[in-house]
A = this chain, B = another copy of it.
Amino acid sequence: MAEPLFGRLALIGIGLIGSSIAHAARQNGLVKEIVVQTRSQKTLDRARELGLGNAYTLDPAEAADGADLVIACVPVGASEQVAKAIGPVLKPGAIVSDVGSVKTSVVKQMGNYLPADVHFVPAHPIAGTEHSGPDAGFAELFQSRWCILTPPEGTDPKAVEKLAAFWRGIGANVEVMSAEHHDLVLAITSHIPHLIAYNIVGTAADMEESVRAEVIKFSASGFRDFTRIAASDPTMWRDIFLHNKDAVLEMLGRFTEDLTALQRAIRRGDGNTLFDLFTRTRAIRRGIVEMGQDTSEADFGRRHGTGTPAGE
């Protein structure tokens, strides 16, 4: 096997994403050793039981000290305190990254606390499930999924390339774009769909008892997919909406305008407007199937499969 890309990897946070990186980095021989940090003793003990790292600590500074690559795998809202804690001990030339689902806010939160002699390359792997914690991780999570890097202007291209090689090494396809563009695209592909799923499941939960029981019973009809999405981690998603506020509100505005137009068409019995939209949306689906992001096959009422990845 070739020489590992990095000597010491520090994982700050060891939930679904952190533990998946640990499994994948080890399996692919990308790092010499892994130091695991997390906030709670309970999660730390569990990470140790699972054998996710070579060393374990509750102190982010201790974990980052001497590391060649530090990846923050915590909810987006905790990014600032991580940078504050690790900034003073970072080794010159180290690469600091994260996996947060929002990028502009993370750049703002972390940027100021990182010394000039480290390379800051934020990242977002577009891969997840609706489960969280160190038990949820697995090495194949990133296989053939995108990982988007959003290096601030002026970042050393060699550092960007090295982190890209790490992500490719654990199976991902890498794309580079600005943090702002990332946040806009993810608002429509991920954040608004999650908000809507949470919302409709909430609307159903508020129905009269007689209806609510049957909503659960007869859920196999569109709604069930929404409930899976709406079972995603509350802390992670609260932070996403608080930290991608502008892009989310902008996209939500467009969504609501369009929905109001549909509502009007239904009220007026305007079948043509409905038919036109329902036909137009098929083209987008075809694009996705053609790009190999999904299959067009039915799964015969889910006899074989076990579900759809959600969570993000």
Contacts and interface: CB of A to CB of B under 8 A. Distances in A.
Interface residues of A, number: 116
* Ranked 3 nearest A-B pairs via Cβ: A305-B305, A193-B222, A234-B278
A221 interface: yes
Q: How many copies does the complex hold?
A: 2
A200 B310 contact: no
Given A220-B146, A230-B285, A231-B285, A198 B277 contact: yes
A198 B255 CA distance: 11
A50 interface: no
Interface stretch (A87-95, A151-159, A161-169, A181-189): A181-189
A126 interface: yes
B188 A301 contact: no
Given A146-B217, A300-B140, A254 B203 contact: yes
A301 B281 CA distance: 24
Interface in A163-206: 175, 181, 184-186, 188-190, 192-206
A51 interface: no
A190 B234 contact: no
Contacts of A78: none
Interface string A130-162: 110000101011011110100000000000000
A119 interface: no
Interface of A: 126-131, 136, 138, 140-141, 143-146, 148, 175, 181, 184-186, 188-190, 192-207, 211, 214-235, 237-239, 241-242, 245, 248-249, 251-252, 254-256, 258-259, 262-263, 266-267, 269, 271, 274-275, 277-288, 291, 293-295, 297-310, 312
B226 A193 contact: yes
Contact of A143 (B129, B229, B263, B303): B303
Contacts of A145: 220, 301
Given A242-B269, A267-B249, A280 B310 contact: no
Given A237-B278, A258-B202, A302 B308 contact: yes
Contacts of A199: 255, 258-259, 262, 277
A285 B190 CA distance: 19
Nearest to A290: B216
A201 to B, nearest CB: 4
Given A227-B284, A301-B145, A307-B299, A200 B196 contact: yes
